Structure 1
Amino acid sequence: MKKISLENHQEIIHYLSKGRSIRQTAKKTSVGHSTVGRIYKKTPNIPKNSKNGRPVKANHSTSKVLVRQFKKYELRNASQGSKYLKAYYNIDVVPQTVRNMLYKGGLKAFKKPKKPIISEKNRKKRLKWAQEHKNWTPKDWKRVVWSDETRINRFGSDSDLYGWRNPQNKLTKQDVRETSKADGSRLMVWSCITWDGVGYICDIGDHNMVKEDYLDILKSDLLNSLNYYNLDNNRTIFMQDNNPKHKAKLVMDWLNQQQFEVMDWPPQSPDLNPIENMWAKLKKMLKKSYSQPAKNKDELFKRVGECWYKIDAIECQKYIESMPRRVKQVLDARGLWTRY
Structure 2
Amino acid sequence: MAKTKELSKDVRDKIVDLHKAGMGYKTIAKQLGEKVTTVGAIIRKWKKHKRTVNLPRPGAPCKISPRGVAMIMRMVSNQPRTIREDLVNDLKAAGTIVTKKTIGNTLHREGLKSCSARKVPLLKKAHIHARLKFANEHLNDSEDNWVKVLWSDETKMELFGINSTRRVWRRRNAAFDPKNTIPTVKHGGGNIMLWGCFSAKGTGQLHRIKGTMDGAMYRQILGENLLPSARALKMGRGWVFQHDNDPKHTANATKE
Q: Tell me the TM-score normalized by structure 1.
A: 0.49
Residue 209 of structure 1 and its aligned partner are, at CA, apart by 0.8
Residue 57 of structure 1 and its aligned partner are, at CA, apart by 2.8
Gaps of 5+ in 2: 1-54
The yes-or-no answer on 1:237 pairing with 2:244 is no
**Equivalent in the alignment of 2:139:** 134
Q: Partners in 1 of 2:62 and 2:229 — Cα distance?
A: 65
**Equivalent in the alignment of 1:155:** 160
Distance change in 2, residues 1:247/1:147 (3 Å) = same
Residue 86 of structure 1 and its aligned partner are, at CA, apart by 2.3
Q: Which amino acid aligns with 2:242?
A: M
Q: 1:187 aligns with which of 189, 192, 203?
A: 192
Residue 122 of structure 1 and its aligned partner are, at CA, apart by 2.4
Q: Which amino acid aligns with 2:155?
A: T
Gaps of 5+ in 1: 1-47, 255-340
Distance change in 2, residues 1:60/1:127 (3 Å) = same
The yes-or-no answer on 1:210 pairing with 2:214 is yes
Q: Partners in 2 of 1:187 and 1:109 — Cα distance?
A: 32
Does structure 2 conserve the Cα–Cα contact (< 8 Å) formed by 1:192 and 1:199?
Answer: yes
**Equivalent in the alignment of 1:69:** 75
SS at match of 2:156: strand
Tell me the number of residue pairs that the alignment of Structure 1 and Structure 2 aligns.
197
Q: Which has the larger radius of gyration?
A: 2
The yes-or-no answer on 1:99 pairing with 2:104 is yes
Aligned-pair Cα RMSD in Å? 3.4
Query: Using CA pairs below 8 Å that are at least 6 residues apart, which structure has the higher relative contact order?
Result: 1
**Equivalent in the alignment of 1:222:** 226
Distance change in 2, residues 1:90/1:179 (3 Å) = closer
Q: Partners in 2 of 1:243 and 1:195 — Cα distance?
A: 23
Structure 1 moving runs of 4+ over 4 Å: 159-169, 174-182
Does structure 1 conserve the Cα–Cα contact (< 8 Å) formed by 2:157 and 2:191?
Answer: yes
Distance change in 2, residues 1:160/1:135 (3 Å) = same
Q: Partners in 2 of 1:50 and 1:248 — Cα distance?
A: 72
Residue 194 of structure 1 and its aligned partner are, at CA, apart by 2.0
Any idea what the Cα deviations from partners look like across 1:185-219, whole Å, max 9, x if unmatched?
543221211222221222222x1111101111112
Does structure 2 conserve the Cα–Cα contact (< 8 Å) formed by 1:75 and 1:81?
Answer: no
Equivalent residue runs for 1:242-281 within 5 Å: 242-252=245-255, 254=256
Distance change in 2, residues 1:157/1:104 (3 Å) = closer
Q: Which amino acid aligns with 1:211?
A: G
Q: Partners in 2 of 1:75 and 1:187 — Cα distance?
A: 32
The yes-or-no answer on 1:196 pairing with 2:206 is no
Q: Partners in 2 of 1:71 and 1:56 — Cα distance?
A: 21
Residue 161 of structure 1 and its aligned partner are, at CA, apart by 7.6
Residue 97 of structure 1 and its aligned partner are, at CA, apart by 1.4
**Equivalent in the alignment of 1:50:** 57
Does structure 2 conserve the Cα–Cα contact (< 8 Å) formed by 1:192 and 1:201?
Answer: yes
Q: Partners in 2 of 1:167 and 1:137 — Cα distance?
A: 53
Q: 2:118 aligns with which of 113, 117, 121?
A: 113
Residue 166 of structure 1 and its aligned partner are, at CA, apart by 7.6
Distance change in 2, residues 1:167/1:238 (3 Å) = closer
Any idea what the Cα deviations from partners look like across 1:223-263, whole Å, max 9, x if unmatched?
111122332342x11111222211222112x2xxxxxxxxx
Q: Which amino acid aligns with 1:145?
A: L
Q: Partners in 2 of 1:159 and 1:75 — Cα distance?
A: 16
